[in-house]
Structure 1
Amino acid sequence: MSVQDDQREKQMVDRFNLTVPEDRRRSDIDAYLNIDGQTVPFELKSATSKGISTVRDLGPNHFTKWKNIHWIFGFYNSTGTQLLHCYYASPDAMVPWISGKERYVLPDIEAAEHAMRGIRADSVINLLGEKEFYTKEDAKWIMKNQWKAVQYIEAADLSVGKEIRYSLDRMVELMRERTYYVMSRGATLNNPHIPLSYISSLPKITTEPAITLRHLVRSYLESTSSTDEPTA
């Protein structure tokens, strides 16, 4: 995220009286709205021109993350210094756009899953040889920087003391995971834009942003709550 984008995001957080965890990482939820005893997650996007950019390498992880998230789209002046107005989107309002992108990459995801299932014991043996057990170095050669140190320890199923060891079956699992990871990274879209024609149909917020947002979110939560109630 650029410095200017970061500044805009902070401005929107302040304008709508949202909260951001102190330990938030870049891939985490942007902000939260505490309302009526509920914590509502928000994605914050801004632009100075037509359309809203999203993320690099839009793929399955983003589709999962965005299923139940609310959105605020902020539009700034040409210099990006003044927030002119915003639009609010509920999770339901974003379904058509998200579903369209998800459908677009579906064939690539299916191909990645087929490739993953094709990994078997002989795949590992051809690469690493047939061994009584496999070492952490073998596992790191497969997984590279995809895993953190603790994950190598947790995945080991033949460890003896401090010696981290893996069975052939476990190495098959690792190689399948790596295969899916490598292939699914190609099953992405590079920063698809949400068009202004889509955004302009959403509720527009021009005055009393914090109050207006809470009114819109409360209405959405009440409507979804009523549809979840069992019928006689």
Structure 2
Amino acid sequence: MIDDKMAKMAVNTLKKYCNTNFKTCNKCAVKDACCMPCRVFGNMNEINDVGTFESWRKPSERPPKFDLRQKYSADFRKYINEIFLREAEKYELPMNTANSIKWFENGKIKVTFVDNDMTYVGVAKCHPDDAFNPEIGVKLAIERAAQNMRKPFTPREGQAYCYVDENGVVRGTGFLGSFDSQLKVAMGNCFKTKAQARANVGRMMKRQERAIELLKTLRDEEDEYRGEGMM
């Protein structure tokens, strides 16, 4: 039985088929039902509360987004490795932490970085209605892994942590809630391991320089405000 939902999906499917696949009507399989007197299917209004028959399919019935056999192609591996190395360098991810990249037929890409005993994962998923682009997928997955790796660490009371001091030296201490400790938390200068702190020395030194300049600006603005108030 054809119910309301199926009829709506048929409209959406015909509209998407028309607007996605053809710039002209010459090769359209349903042009004889559509083009007289005008381009009927392409101009139909989409019905928003349902999808198309393509999106209605069960995952097991949908065509694969990615042919897993490409993983064994030397040219494909070289292409992906170049992207992987470029993006990892862009986000300043230490390459000795790179662990794996996994591909899935549904267009999902998963990258893993291991730093000492910590594992950081980035995942990118291709939308069911989009064409799979491995370059975009790798870029998104690495960006998300970097976000997870850089997520600020806030120690608990009494918990040990590492930080980068004003000379770029990695040190360890315990979190006691002092003003100095709170400043380190605010700057993101708290790390679970020395290796993580060492990997972020450059970033922390730049962040300390910016923090000093910002505090000077706030000081000068407050002094100027106080001076105007006394006149």
* Range class of TM-score, shorter chain: under 0.3
Higher normalized contact order (CA 8 Å, seq sep 6+, divided by chain length): 1
TM-score by length of 2: 0.21
TM-score by length of 1: 0.21
